[in-house]
Amino acid sequence: MPHTETHHERPTLVQLRDVHLSFGSNKVLKGVDLNVRQGDAVSIIGPSGSGKSTILRCINGLLAPERGEIVVGNTPVHALKTEADRIALRKRIGFVFQQYNLFPHLSVLENIVIAPTRILGTDRQTAEREARELLARVRLSDKADAYPGQLSGGQQQRVAIARALAMHPELVLFDEVTSALDPETVGEVLAVIRELVQDGLTCILVTHEMRFAEEVSHEIVFTEGGEIVEHGTPQTIFHAPRNPRTHGFINALRN
């Protein structure tokens, strides 16, 4: 954990208060509270269907909560009414999906430059230079002209990370980004995320990679049944959880 000494002094970037959301009769979020400080990496862990991905989708406004407050920086996300407001929010938040969701008709380079050039109005030269820098950062310099269909899952996911970073986001949401990958390519993606965290990028990760979460996170949040059961430092959650449900989940993973 690179920033431990300043950990408590940094301002809050993301704040969720009593967030409720249901799909039909299925209550997915039942009053979620969450605090993420600037520069923190927060991992959300918990069993499948506990609402982890839904939390991320609420933060960038892909889903609107029925009740509660979501604030990113100074933006009250829960109160955004127009598409224009949500677009302004999403310019500041990167999102990386489990299934990569690259644009299959565009080359790797075009996948990365399309948003900066068309949405932010960055000139083509600058956008392309930055894209190549990002590709170097995710170790895919030689794949700029390839198409997503020609890449492995791990490579596609690293392109997806580069695509998100090209917008210079102040926050990146990672939604189970290694769950769809072959075991041998998981490492290369995690290595990229590890560097981002070390560089001080604010990250919220939904993950099943417990070892990785323990290693890179400033804080771990354990969710179950649409609620935050417990949150704390990786040390507490993984080695001395207070809540018996957390304890049960961690133990089940160990065995």
Residues at the contact surface with another protein, assessed by CB under 8 A: 60, 62, 83-84, 86-88, 90-91, 93-95, 97, 99, 101-105, 114-115, 118-119, 149, 163-164, 167
Report, in Å, the least distance between residue 103 CB and another protein.
6
* Closest CB to another protein among residues 172, 190: 172
Residue 145: CB partners within 8 Å, gap ≥ 6?
Answer: 107, 108, 109
Cα–Cα distances (Å) from 106 to 103, 140, 146, 213, 246, in that order, read 6, 16, 9, 32, 43
* Closest CB to another protein among residues 95, 212: 95
Report, in Å, the least distance between residue 105 CB and another protein.
5
Asked if 140 and 157 touch (Cβ cutoff 8 Å), the reply is: no
- For helices 108-115 and 153-165, what crossing angle results, to 10°? 20
Report, in Å, the least distance between residue 87 CB and another protein.
5
Cα-atom radius of gyration of the chain, to the nearest Å? 18
Report, in Å, the least distance between residue 64 CB and another protein.
13
* Closest CB to another protein among residues 1, 106: 106
The number of C-alpha atoms within 13 Å of 251 and in the hemisphere containing its C-beta is 9
* Closest CB to another protein among residues 171, 210: 171
